[in-house]
């Protein structure tokens, strides 16, 4: 024997290899079948999610519109009427002023000097008018004396014409002097008003919101000196979508809420814009707050809450039960989970009608006394196992 395997021995070795491979395949099939069975049983053995539930009820709910806006009030930048040097500022930021209180004073020296000049011009015009009056009267008398002589041909027509021209010229001089006097006196009045307006006064009662300049500054005509804002009443300005506008009217009561005052104060609508924005499809609405608290200031954020309508026999669910889910097609579906049979959660699509605090009116197939999940349900899926807490309904 030289160690070369015989055909008989080779066939035996091949048979043993075939048996081994078949054994591995059979064992693997049993292994995979065992995994499939465990996978099928996994959902049934998965732990139930603890949840709590609330009741679906029928009742009355008020649909309220909530519109963000801001507080507003009468405001004005008090400005200098004329250019000049600012002598004094009588107010600082936060000061309260009454209508007519002095805000600032400008130096009126130039105006006083111009008044003196205008008054002197007026006196000179009066003197010139008086002199022209005397001369005109003398010339008129001379014309009256010469006219009979002219009729008798005792003097030439040229001489009487010269005298008449002189009288007419002196009458024109009188008129010119009178006009000069009137102009000078008008200028005096303008300059006197300028002196009065060099003392800048508050146009209405309010509070100083800003002071722009300090004494000693040279200001131009129209330069802002201070900003005054009315304290009361306050207005609330907000935008309303065009769909809600027909439900509002002048006189409608609303409630105004600020970030620091969640209780808010009552107000009434005083004006609705006569046009809807073509870009944003909203209209401006204003309401009046008669007696705002001291902490409410123009420019503050505010929310206007308006009762739009009352819904009778509405299907009402707790607000915490309402969820929104992104669908595979990219759309968003709103719904609630209800406690289904055999301890499972069932997804019910809804359409939200309105909210009032922690209550939501919906349109859905939800009979009264249906239990909707209100906590622990955020990550559930339709048919998911749940363990309902027997605590009080919410």
pLDDT tens digits, one per residue of 177-223: 788 778 877 877 777 777 777 889 999 999 999 999 999 999 998 99
* 10-14 mean pLDDT: 49
- Whether 150 contacts 160, CB under 8 Å: yes
Residue 357: which pLDDT band, with cuts at 50, 70 and 90? confident
pTM over 0.75: no
Domain boundaries, the chain: 49-62+313-388, 66-73+232-309, 82-107+198-231, 109-194
Helix (H, G, I), strand (E, B) or coil at 314: strand
One fold for 49-62+313-388 and 66-73+232-309: no
Q: What architecture is domain 49-62+313-388?
A: Beta Barrel (2.40)
Beta bridge partners of 349: 335
Q: Is residue 98 scored above 90 in pLDDT?
A: yes
Q: Which two tokens stand for residue 14?
A: 């091949």
C-alpha neighbours within 13 Å on the C-beta side of residue 125 = 18
How confident is the model over 45-67, as a mean pLDDT? 88
The proportion of the chain whose per-residue pLDDT surpasses 90, expressed as a percent, equals 45
Q: What is the pLDDT of residue 9?
A: 47
Confidence bin at 14 (pLDDT 50/70/90): low
3-state secondary structure of 156: coil
CATH architecture of the domain covering 82-107+198-231: Beta Barrel (2.40)
* Predicted local confidence at residue 8, as pLDDT: 47
Q: Which tokens hold the place of 152?
A: 């008798």
pLDDT of 45 over the 80 cut: no
**In CATH, what is the architecture of 66-73+232-309?**
Beta Barrel (2.40)
Cβ burial of 384 (10 Å; 0-12, 13-18, 19+) is: buried
> Which tokens sit at 288?
């009046």
Give helix 157-197 / helix 109-151 axis angle, nearest 10°.
Answer: 160
From its phi and psi, is residue 15 left (phi > 0), alpha (psi between -120 and 50) or beta? alpha
């Amino acid at each position: 024997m030289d160690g070369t395997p015989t055909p008989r021995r080779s066939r035996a070795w091949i048979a043993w290899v075939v048996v081994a491979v078949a054994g591995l395949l059979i064992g693997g099939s049993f292994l995979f079948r065992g995994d499939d069975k465990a996978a099928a049983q996994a959902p049934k053995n998965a732990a139930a999610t603890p949840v709590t539930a609330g009741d679906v009820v029928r009742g009355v709910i008020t649909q309220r519109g909530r519109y963000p806006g801001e507080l507003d009030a009468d405001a004005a930048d008090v400005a200098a009427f004329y250019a000049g040097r600012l002598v004094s500022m009588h107010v600082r930021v936060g000061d309260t002023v009454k209508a007519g209180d002095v805000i600032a004073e400008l130096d009126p020296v130039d105006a006083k000097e111009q008044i003196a000049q205008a008054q002197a011009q007026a006196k000179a015009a009066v003197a010139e008018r008086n002199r022209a009056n005397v001369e005109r009267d003398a010339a008129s008398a001379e014309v009256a004396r010469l006219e009979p002589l002219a009729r008798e041909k005792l003097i030439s027509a040229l001489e009487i014409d010269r005298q008449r021209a002189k009288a007419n010229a002196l009458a024109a001089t009188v008129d010119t002097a009178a006009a000069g006097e009137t102009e000078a006196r008008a200028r005096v009045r303008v300059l006197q008003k300028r002196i009065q307006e060099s003392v800048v006064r508050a146009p209405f009662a309010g509070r100083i919101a800003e002071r722009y300049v300090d004494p000693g500054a040279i200001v131009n005509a129209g330069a802002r000196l201070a900003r005054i804002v009315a304290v009361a009443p306050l207005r609330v300005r907000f935008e309303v979508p065009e769909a809600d506008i027909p439900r509002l009217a002048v006189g409608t009561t609303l409630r105004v809420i600020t970030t620091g005052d969640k209780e808010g104060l009552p107000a009434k609508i005083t004006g609705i814009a006569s046009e809807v924005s073509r870009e944003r499809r909203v209209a401006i609405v204003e309401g009046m707050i008669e007696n705002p608290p001291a902490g409410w200031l123009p420019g503050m954020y505010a929310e206007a809450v308006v009762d739009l309508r009352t819904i009778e026999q509405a299907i009402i669910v707790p607000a915490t039960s309402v969820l929104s889910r992104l669908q595979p097609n990219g759309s968003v579906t709103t719904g609630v989970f209800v406690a289904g049979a055999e301890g499972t959660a069932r997804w019910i699509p809804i359409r939200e009608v309105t909210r009032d605090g922690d209550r939501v009116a919906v349109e859905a197939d939800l009979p009264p006394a249906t239990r909707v999940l209100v906590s622990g349900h955020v990550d559930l899926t339709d048919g998911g196992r749940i363990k309902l807490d027997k605590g009080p309904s919410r």
